[in-house]
Amino acid sequence: MTEEAILQGCLKNHAAAQKELYNRYSPKMLAVCYRFAHNREDAEDMLQEGFIKVFLQIHTFQNKGAFEGWIRRIIVHTSINHLKKNKRFNESVDIIQASSVQVREENIPSIVQAKQIVDCIRLLPLGYRTVLNLYAIEGYAHREIAEMLDIEESTSRSQYTRARQMLEEILIRRNLIAAPREKTDRLSAIL
Amino acid sequence: MKERILYDDEFEKQLKAKADQFKMYPSDKVWNEVYSSLHTRRRRFVAGMTVLVASILILAGTQLIFPSRVIHPKSITAKVNNTSKPATGAALHNFPTNAFTADATDRSEGQPGPDVSQALISPFDAQTAALYDKPSSADQQTVNLSPESPMEKVLQPAPRIKGIQATDMLISAEQSGKAGLVDIIENTQTTRVSLLNYPDAELVADKTANSSTHFHNDRFGWELYITPSLNTHYLNGLNYQTMNQSIQNAPVMVVRLANVNGFVDNTPVIGYELGGNLMYKLSKNFSLKAGLAFSFNRYYIKAYNPGPTQASATLNSYLGYIADSSVNFASSGINKNPTHYQNRYYQISMPVGLEMKVAGNGKLQLHLGATVQPSYLLNTDAYVLSDDYNSYSKDAQAFRRWNINLGAEAFISYGTGKLRWELGPQVRYQLLSTYKNNYSLKENMLTYGIRIGISKTIW
């Protein structure tokens, strides 16, 4: 079934088209949710809520961009809203007003599996992880992230910097990227 | 969202690329929840129908178990015939309890009735009737309607009591040998006429009495029925002539143009329909009825299991339909033992129609009825035949949910007390195809069975 046929079917609320759309995009979208969520159950809740919104708002899709991108934005926003209901999340994103942190330029070898990277991302504290996901992977600007998370733009920047540094340390510790020239022992605090 | 035009560095690009490669497969529960959230209207419909059916069944059950005791605000003049001739054993023949009531103003040529405005003879209500043992010396005793009513006034020419001449109402006592008595228990508002001392005494009424005014108080009723049924289904293939030119030019297998019914071997299996109607009497012989019915239809299909195969030819992609499941059983086979698979359909419908009494008296009647039945397919467990007639596949999406059926029935009804028992043939024809329009085959089902029912007038 073509994407256009799926879209038309979903607009008519046809269950078969909805199922087709779900089958096509849910694996990727669950991975997105999983990067934000505490656990798989939370991720599935986010996915469920997100897909309901997708189907209910599908008439607003204007064919201007990629359909997958449109779905993904809904899923991301749903995940963020889901997280914001959690008090722990609200506390975690605003803790650190980090100053400048040295960031290295490291490459991720192609042999590294996607799951390994995701597992490492999930080791980050919730606030760091959220900002890193939004900025580095989902491509949002710090200003947008600040609006989404109700924080200062500078907070988003600093959190991202810290998150990235911490992620690199995790990757190094797991031998997924090359060893750094300078080591920090900050990592041991969270692992 | 304004996406950043470029990622800042190689690390972020790689991180994104790696993260995007990751996929996880959600559990079935997620889709089920999504689906049920999106299709709440369907769920609400099913829930509403269930509540409606349950209400009808509860109402009917209540009426069956605890028959209503209707007290009409009417008074009565009745004459008790307790002549010296031996009582004959009385029977109340075929008219409802409320037929024993009459307006007090009837009693004396339009004169207002006595203070006692209500009276009731309730021969069915022997348990609650107060029993008195009054001596009687008169050959004929009269009902005393009120303290103010003189005996002679009551003895005036009897009025009609709901189509029954009060003079025809006889209370006699046979077994006790005592005089039959009717007394009046007075309250401030109601006078109750009771049978005294004669629990076995029954009222005899003239069944030939004019009943033209009778139905006004018996307009509403209900009926319940069950119809064990069989079905025949008619399959039609593609309408080749009506296809557009490009399709007509395409090579078409000869079998497509043949009668599809020659390619299948189906056997009807007994199913049933269970329903309830509310009735409204439009006139003496015509009733309007509406209700709900649940039907379960099924038939066997004979098929041959060729092992797993792909159902590439199951449905017509050029008609806009793509199957999402694959098939399974061949509709014909050589040197193989056939297997029977059942096609099952669960449907709920709302019959609305007319019923006519064509013959009969109070006891035995013949009725004809016809209904239109908007229906909804609740569930299926059925195989659909491929458009090359070679195989069957299972695809729930191929079935039409909403349909229209026409129903016709003829039955005899037999009255026993307050209930009428009904028995007769019933036929139901499904107007639209079982399958959606974009499926190449059309199936129309004819269901026939014997209807067994019970009905009762409520008020």
Is the pLDDT reported for residue A2 higher than 50?
yes
Q: Cβ distance B261 to B235 under 8 Å?
A: yes
The verdict on A62 and A107 lying in the same domain is no
Average pLDDT of span B243-258: 47
Residue A91 forms part of a structural domain = no
φ/ψ of B350, rounded to 5, equals -125, 90
Do A67 and A105 share a structural domain? Answer: no
Q: Is the pLDDT score of B15 beyond 90?
A: no
Alpha helices (runs of H) in B85-221, residue ranges in sequence order: 151-154
Same domain, A100 and A172: yes
Structure confidence at residue B319 (pLDDT): 37
- According to DSSP, the residues that pair with B286 across neighbouring strands are B356
- A136-140, B41-45, B56-60, B275-279: which range is least confident on average? B41-45
Q: Are residues A100 and A186 in the same domain?
A: yes
Considering only B5-19, B74-88, B261-275, which range has the smallest mean pLDDT?
B74-88
Interface subset of A 52-71, CB within 8 angstroms of B: 52, 55-56
Claim to verify: residue A108 and residue A78 sit in the same structural domain: no
pLDDT digit string, tens, across residues A18-41: 999 999 999 999 999 999 988 889
- Give me the pLDDT at residue B76, please: 43
User: Which residue of B lies nearest to A132 if distances are taken between CA atoms?
Assistant: B12
Identity of residue A171: L
- Average model confidence (pLDDT) for chain B? 65
Determine whether the interchain pair A27/B3 forms a contact, defined as Cβ–Cβ distance below 8 Å. Answer: no
Per CB-CB distance under 8 Å, the chain B contacts of A112 are 18
- Give the dihedral of Cα atoms B322, B324, B325, B327; nearest 10 deg: 10
**In this structure, what CATH number is given to the domain that contains residue A144?**
1.10.10.10
Q: Pick from B47, B56, B54: which is nearest to B376 by CA?
A: B47
More confident residue, A38 or B304: A38
Last residue of a domain, one of A50, A66, A85: A85
pTM recorded for the entire structure: 0.41
Q: Cβ–Cβ of A18/B35 closer than 8 Å?
A: yes
> DSSP characters for B229-285?
EEEEEEEE---GGGS-HHHHHS---HHHHS-GGGG--EEEEEEEEEEEEEEEE-SSS
Domains of chain B, by residue range, sit at 79-206, 218-457
- Backbone torsions φ then ψ of B81, nearest 5 degrees: -95, 105
- Give the B-side interface with A, CB within 8 Å: 1-4, 7, 9-12, 14-16, 18-27, 29-31, 33-35, 37-39, 322, 324, 397
End-to-end CA distance of chain A: 46
Percent of chain B with pLDDT over 90: 19
Over residues B377-404, mean pLDDT: 78
**Given this model, what pLDDT does residue B344 score?**
87
More confident residue, A73 or B170: A73
- Is B11 within 8 Å of A19 when comparing Cβ atoms? no
Q: Which of A21-35, A145-159, B261-275 has the lowest mean pLDDT?
A: B261-275
The span from the CA of A128 to the CA of A122, in Å, is 10
pLDDT the model gives residue B87: 41
**Residue A84: pLDDT above 70?**
yes
- Residues A17, A77, single domain; the answer is yes
Q: Among the listed ranges B116-120, B346-350, B358-362, which one has the minimum average pLDDT value? A: B116-120
Element (H, E) at B381: strand B364-381
pLDDT at residue B414 greater than cutoff 80: yes
Residues B453 and B367: their CA atoms lie apart, in Å, by 12
Task: Return the percentage of chain B with pLDDT > 70, whole number.
Answer: 48
Closest residue of B to A10, CA-based? B38
Tell me how far apart the alpha carbons of residues B257 and B237 are, in angstroms, rounded to a whole number. Answer: 7
Residues A68 and A147 in one domain: no
What average pLDDT score do residues B364-377 get?
Answer: 93
List helix spans (H) across B92-228: 151-154
> Which one, of B99, B122, B95, B124, lies nearest residue B190 by Cα?
B122
Question: Does residue A13 form part of some domain?
Answer: yes
Over residues B378-385, the mean pLDDT reads 80
- pLDDT given at position A50: 94
CB nearest A47 (choices: B2, B20, B26): B26
| A55 and A131 within one domain | no
pLDDT mean across residues, chain A: 81
CA nearest B297: which of B314, B274, B276?
A: B274
CB-CB contact of B9 with A105 (8 Å): yes
ipTM for the assembly: 0.82
**Shortest CA distance to B403 belongs to which of B422, B384, B375?**
B375
Q: Is residue A28 part of a domain?
A: yes
Ranking A18-32, A74-88, B293-307, B440-454 by mean pLDDT, the lowest is B293-307
A153-168 average pLDDT score: 89
State how far Cα A139 lies from the chain centre.
10
pLDDT score at B443: 84
Cβ B279 vs Cβ B287: under 8 Å: yes
pLDDT digits (tens, 9 = 90+) for B315-354: 433 333 333 333 344 554 444 566 777 888 999 999 999 9
Cβ neighbours of B174 (radius 10 Å): 15
In a domain, A102, yes or no: yes
Q: How far apart are CA B270 and CA A42, in angstroms?
A: 48
User: How far is A187 from chain B, CA to nearest CA, in Å?
Assistant: 19
- Of the three residues A85, A120, A151, the one that is the final residue of a domain is A85
CATH number, position A36 = 1.10.1740.10
Domain B218-457 class, CATH top level: mainly beta
pLDDT number for residue A23: 92
Contacts of A19 in chain B (CB under 8 A): 31, 35, 324
Q: Would you call A34 and B29 a contact, using CB atoms and an 8 Å cutoff?
A: no
Using the Cβ of A166 and the Cβ atoms of chain B, whether some distance falls under 8 Å is answered with no
Tell me: the pLDDT tens digits for B182-201? Answer: 444 344 343 444 444 444 44
pLDDT category at B161 given cuts 50, 70, 90 is very low
Q: What is the pLDDT of residues A85-142, one digit of tens each?
A: 876 665 555 444 433 344 444 566 666 677 888 888 888 988 888 999 999 889 999 9
Does the pLDDT value for residue B442 go beyond 90? no
Please state the domain count of chain A. 2
Whether A174 maps to a domain, the answer reads yes
Q: Does A90 reside within a domain?
A: no
List the domain range (segments joined by +) for residue A177.
Answer: 96-190
Q: What is the pLDDT of residue B260?
A: 59
Predicted pLDDT at B302: 73
What are B76-106's pLDDT values in tens digits?
Answer: 444 444 444 444 444 444 444 444 443 433 4
* Final residue in a domain of this structure, among A35, A57, A85: A85
- Residue A135 forms part of a structural domain: yes
Long-range CB contacts for residues A119-124, cutoff 8 Å, separation at least 24? A120/A167, A120/A170, A120/A171, A120/A174, A120/A176, A121/A35, A121/A167, A121/B19, A122/A34, A122/A35, A123/A170, A123/A190, A123/A191, A124/A163, A124/A166, A124/A167, A124/A170, A124/A190
Verify that A78 and A153 share a domain, yes or no.
Answer: no
Does residue A166 fall inside a structural domain? yes
**Chain B contact probe: residue of A12, A42, A118 with most B CBs at under 10 A:** A118
Contact A137 B21 (CB under 8 A): no
